[in-house]
Amino acid sequence: MKRRVVITGLGAVTPLGVGVEESWQALCQGKSGVGVVTGFDASDFRTKIAGEVKGFNPLDFIDRKLARRGDRFIHFALAATRMALEDSGLRINAGNSERVGVSVGTAMGGIESIEKNHQLLLEGARQQISPFFVPSFLCNMATGQIAIEFGARGANMCSVTACASGTHAIGDAFRVIQRGEVDAMIAGGAEAAIRPLVFAGLEPVKVMSTRNEEPEKASRPFDRERDGFVIGDGAGIVILEELEFAQNRGARIYGEVLGYGLNSDAYHITAPDPEGIGAASCMKMTLDDAGISTSRVDYINAHGTSTVLNDLSETRAIKSVFGGRSHKIPISSNKSMIGHMWAGAGVVEAIFCLLTINQGIIPPTINYETPDPECDLDYVPNVARKAEVKIALSNSFGFGSTNGSLIFGEFSP
């Protein structure tokens, strides 16, 4: 028998707010967190907009010494973890520390630390490079710092699978609890990739929106006029627990992780399979893992990046899996408001799925103004919708042809 896994705590730092509640309220109101880049001078770039985190002070969550020694993506992860642990009420102590683990993904790690220290090298100031430089940029350092800060001595993992990193981190955490290796996991994703080097690297690939004159309208998943994704920063963390472990301490339960699937398109380093074959297979795998038929899925939280190829591919994949019912299932893309948070995306979207289940509100896909004949499903355009949602499917697809899907369900004893 596989052990049941539930979610008891949520934490988030997003372009919509610092904290889950602030982010959720803005999302349901259809507010955009996208604006002109302020973290560096982007005037010479074709893309000058991003979903930056606003009003975040790491010292509200960690001490000054730890803040100096870590990259911004680590700050986001630690902050979201503290919020999630407080929300869950889980106390890590000598009696349970070896049964609590960490699984946090990132696509790029400490890119800001790499930029700044490389500049010192170029300027001949090698002696000024910090001894904490390497521990700042390594991808697994968010996972490591969380374990050290909160005393989690169980399974310790880091997913580095581009845009699917956060989803894979939750899925991997789900598996180790199912297998009985631990009783609880701190799982999520964090990213701080709004940096000049990233913009310069993505510019020739032509995947970022250049709708600079209207930043709030730049991310427009499934709309015919979409012209690319918008980078977002931040982090999402969830606390996963084995059901009996959670119940024994009287934890509040947001929902249950019912299924997880992952695979590869094996198609292209940046483009999805045009017919969505890999994505469709991934969703089917997740449904099979959960033992759920397509008729029971009430809502799909789409990867929905606002790129021409991804949105079309995902639409075709959904049609392939759900057939005639695909037009009846509400689908929305949170990236229309938060941008693409890379590793943070799948986790924040998982959090929003759980809140959709709990509160009966499906967030909209904003900026859906001109229907695309080839993207013709119900994308919950522009206005949030009240609906009973008991089972939600969340998709994440990434560079390198990687795919991940999760199914969350309303908790039933």
Q: Is 163 a catalytic residue?
A: yes
Report helix, strand and coil shares of the chain as percent, to nearest 5: 40, 20, 40
Choose, from 28, 139, 158, 163, the residue flagged as catalytic: 163
Handedness of CA 54, 198, 159, 51 (dihedral sign): positive
- Cα-flanking dihedrals φ and ψ of residue 136, to 5°? -85, -35
Kind of pairing, strands 156-157 and 100-105? parallel
With contact defined as beta carbons under 8 Å apart, do 386 and 205 qualify?
no
Q: Which amino acid is at 380?
A: V
Choose, from 28, 158, 282, 303, the residue flagged as catalytic: 303
Cα–Cα distances in angstroms (integers) from residue 100 to residues 7, 155, 283, 344, 347, in the given order: 14, 7, 29, 21, 19
Helix residue ranges, H only, 29-181: 64-68, 72-88, 111-122, 133-137, 141-150, 165-178
Helix residue ranges, H only, 185-298: 196-202, 243-248, 277-290
Q: Which amino acid is at 135?
A: P
Q: Is 303 a catalytic residue?
A: yes
- 3-class secondary-structure state, position 275: coil
Residues with Cβ < 8 Å from 334, sequence gap 6 or more?
Answer: 27, 301, 304, 345, 348, 349, 352, 363
Tokens of residue 396, six digits: 């994440």
Q: How far apart are alpha carbons 141 and 135 in whole angstroms?
A: 6
Choose, from 139, 340, 353, 375, the residue flagged as catalytic: 340
Kind of pairing, strands 156-157 and 234-242? unpaired
Q: Which residues are catalytic?
A: 163, 303, 340
